Amino acid sequence: MKNFVLLTFFFSISFFMQAAVVQTVQNGSWNDANTWNTKAIPTAGDEIAIRHEVTVEEDLTLNNIIVVLEEKGALTVNGKCELRGLSALKIDEESVVSCSSFKTHTSGGIVEINGMLDCSNGELYFGGICSILVHGQLNGGSLKHRGNAELIIEGGFANVQENVSILGNTEVFLRHAEWLIGGDFQLKSAKDIYIIESDITVAGSFLGNSEWSIHLQGGRFTVEKTLHLSNQQQFNVSGRAEIVADHIKLTNNTSINGVDEGGMLKCNSAEVSDAAAIQCANGTEKYNVANYKDIPGNLDLRGGEEVGSALDWKNQFPSLLTDAPKVTVFPNPTTERITIEGFNLANKPEVYITNGSGQMENIAVDQESIRINMKEKYAPGLYTVVIRENEETQSIQVVLQ
């Protein structure tokens, strides 16, 4: 990710460092030659600086054109605005681009927003090979993110009134940012998603359907309806981050991992099945919710504190939360090794690993933490780690990929 950010910055400088040849000299229409210092309407290959209010009555297609809005410049497109080829658009602070819809289908373009890109009533479509850098404000009616487009919101604000859909070989990176989504948020990206010290609020539901991971470091991820992870999606949480949802549904080897001290995971109800799991770090202990369908009532996991909820979890689900097992297994799923830690050797713990056919292997326990090379011993599949300690038995399902 660091290489990606530096590379984007390099290209951004190379696009915008040169002085523009074509400049506005007055307010007016894009298609009026008197608007421009060259007394000619801009064409492909031009570098343009807009320092006045420029209007396009219909659609505007920028093909291999560089446009910079500066000195409170404004570009209003009453139709669609589309970037193609090696086009680039830079909107400086206090400058605005407004359009009915905005689309990128470039082969190496950049859109850098330090002011505002306003497409509140239309669709934002980011496709092709393009980097979208938001340091100011991005408004859209809906947003589709496809192809090899890259979206970085750093120190900026995005407001999408309806649905957001992110598919394909895309990069998404938020840092010190805020993103409001008025509808549903669908994520099926072939890249990891990084959300650092940022807040995302989804008024609808969130569907994560990808083998890649979401990394939430600090900040808050709020889903007002259902947060649903499927297809081995991992949601890794750290740095006092918070996840809040009305309902959480985890299926097909997905997990929410590592809610740490000062962090929080909270929902009104949850479904955890098909080798999915929720893990919450609490000091030296790790709480685990695994393979429980239709959990009623409130689930409130707070890292670093006692685990609490609106129900008495200790009495109703003694193996689930409040007295959750001190022995933990991680990573889960795994591609090679697992670590089992938290044994009390005075209790003479026993560990067994069983497969779907009921075959069982006894694992020697001679220290408080042991490591097992699953890949070396077993074929990919679903296994159950059975831990017996002080007349109590704990079973944890482990997926070997």
Q: Low-confidence residues of the chain, pLDDT below 70?
A: 1-20, 189-190, 258-262, 279-326, 356-358, 390-392
Burial 122-139 (b: 16+ CB within 10 A, else e): bbbbbbbbbbbbbbbbbb
Strands 337-341 and 328-330: antiparallel
176: left (phi over 0), alpha (psi -120 to 50) or beta: left
Separation in Å, CA 348 to CA 70, 142, 391: 72, 58, 10
- Could you count the other beta carbons within 10 Å of the beta carbon of residue 262? 14
358: Cβ–Cβ under 8 A, 6 or more apart, which residues? none
Q: Is the dihedral of CA 281, 284, 286, 287 positive or negative?
A: negative
User: What pLDDT, on a 0 to 100 scale, did the predictor assign at position 81?
Assistant: 96
17: Cβ–Cβ under 8 A, 6 or more apart, which residues? none
- Give the span between the Cα atoms of 134 and 143, in whole angstroms: 14
pTM for this model (two decimals): 0.70
Separation in Å, CA 100 to CA 48, 67, 316: 22, 18, 54
| Burial degree of 18 (CB within 10 A; 0-12, 13-18, 19+) | exposed
- Give the span between the Cα atoms of 321 and 219, in whole angstroms: 24
- Give the span between the Cα atoms of 332 and 398, in whole angstroms: 6
Query: Which three-class secondary structure state does DSSP give residue 315?
Result: helix
Residues 311, 320: contact at Cβ < 8 Å?
no
Residues 279, 285: contact at Cβ < 8 Å?
no
The fold adopted by the segment(s) 330-400 is Immunoglobulin-like (2.60.40)
User: What pLDDT, on a 0 to 100 scale, did the predictor assign at position 324?
Assistant: 39
